[in-house]
Amino acid sequence: MISMTTYWQLFKDCIDNLPASPESTEYTKQLTTANTLIDIGLGIEKLGITEIKEVVNKLHEKAKLFGHHVLFNANGKDYTFYLPKINNIESLIFAIIYYQHLKNYNNVSYQGSITWFRQIVINGVNEKKVTTKFQAMALLTEIKNYCKSQKITLDESQLLRKSNETAKDYIIRVTELFHITSDDAIDSNQTSESIIADETVNLESSLLELKKKKNALDTKIDSFSKKLIELHQATQRYLSFNNEWRNTSRIMQLYYWVLSWFHQIPLIQNLKEANEQCVKAEQALNEEIALYESVETYHIELKRQQQETIMEHEHIQEKLSQIKLEQSILQYKQQLQQQQEELKGENTSAVVQTCSEDETTSLEVNENVDTSVSVSEFSYYNFFKENLPSRQTMQAAAVAALAIVTQQLVTP
């Protein structure tokens, strides 16, 4: 067994060996929240019993800084745990370290300075082990879900720190394990659309669970109010008949008492029934508030849970609206990109078509020119062929030309 101080110191050793990642806002917030919890936890065993109760509530409030709550049902009871959100490898490794921290609480024993009421503190620590066990189970479910969504193979036997392992070696082993696994993962980086869709489904599921929780709380509050009213009415009725009996003289009381052995006396019968109803109503109310100190404490706790559920519902509803807006913006961007690609494709087709048309036109012009030249030459040939003189005419013209030349030569 380990002391409460050692328990928190072991967690601190692990956190101190985690690498910083300033670019990851969520991971940085988780480290800051963890250090805040550690600062509170390290001083628990130095406090008195009243201060310890305040610190337990303070730890619960500071855990809300993780900004991620998980609903978990165990043994028919609903729990709300505030746990680190897992959205990348760094936050996955942190969640595993926090899971180790929660599991380690089972080894805790109170070794503080309180002497008076020490057993009360020890009982409180042991009761806390039950809820912390459920908290660890809820976180393990979150780890499994993330690994499943990212196609990461998860070996649960490698999640916890070994007894002979230093904090530094433990962090190195887990870091190397999941970085290697993530490299071998198939499609480990989901698209933004897929991530938003998954988160939307998770939030809608959380809303449904919160609605069920709210309805269950409303039913409890109604049942509590009804039993409280029944007890009040039964008490008033009993007091009324009891006052009537007390206002009856001693002689008449004795007379009624003797007579009741043989006949039913209305006053005595009413008083008896009123007393039985009062006892039953009180027993029913005590069963309702069995785990609480008083009616007022139970009523305050119910109201607190109801208010917390309403606030969580509003927070998730707001976040869901924001994610749906992001989803609409993403769809708009995708449509815009698709339209731009289609427009670019149309422009390319138009350029190709224009070039084809120009080439076709050029070929047609060349063919027309060649054809027109050929036609012209053919026409001239036919013209000369058709109008060429006959052979006899050409011979006669030649003889005449020869005679003229001879005559010119003979004449001095």
The one-character DSSP state at 264 is -
Identify the pLDDT of residue 192.
55
- Tens of pLDDT, residue by residue over 124-145, are 888 889 999 999 999 999 999 8
Q: What are phi and psi of 330, to 5 degrees?
A: -65, -45
**HSE (CB half, 13 Å, CA atoms) of 12?**
14
Tokens representing 178?
A: 């999941």
pTM: 0.50
More confidently predicted of 139 and 323:
139
Tokens representing 255?
A: 């007379």
Tokens representing 393?
A: 């005419």
Tokens representing 38?
A: 């550690």
Q: What are phi and psi of 236, to 5 degrees?
A: -65, -40
Specify the DSSP element, H or E, that contains 73: strand 69-74
Pick left, alpha or beta for residue 151 (phi over 0 → left; psi -120 to 50 → alpha; otherwise beta): left
Cβ-based neighbour number of residue 233 at 10 Å: 14
Whether residue 97 is predicted with pLDDT greater than 80 in this model: the reply is: yes
Read off the pLDDT band of 382 (50, 70, 90).
low
Average pLDDT over residues 357-365: 52
Residues 6+ apart with CB under 8 A from 412: none
Cβ-based neighbour number of residue 65 at 10 Å: 14
Average pLDDT over residues 358-382: 48
Three-class secondary structure assignment of 34-62: HHHHHHHHCCHHHCCHHHHHHHHHHHHHH
Residue-averaged pLDDT of the chain: 78
Sign of CA dihedral 52, 53, 58, 61: positive
- Tens of pLDDT, residue by residue over 274-286, are 888 888 888 888 8
Tokens representing 375?
A: 């036609």
Tokens representing 202?
A: 């998770």
Average pLDDT over residues 257-268: 76
* 264-302 core/surface letters (b: 16 or more CB in 10 A; e: else): ebeebebbeebeebbeebeeebeebbeeeeebeebbeeb
Cβ–Cβ under 8 Å, residues 179 and 89: yes
Read off the pLDDT band of 184 (50, 70, 90).
very low
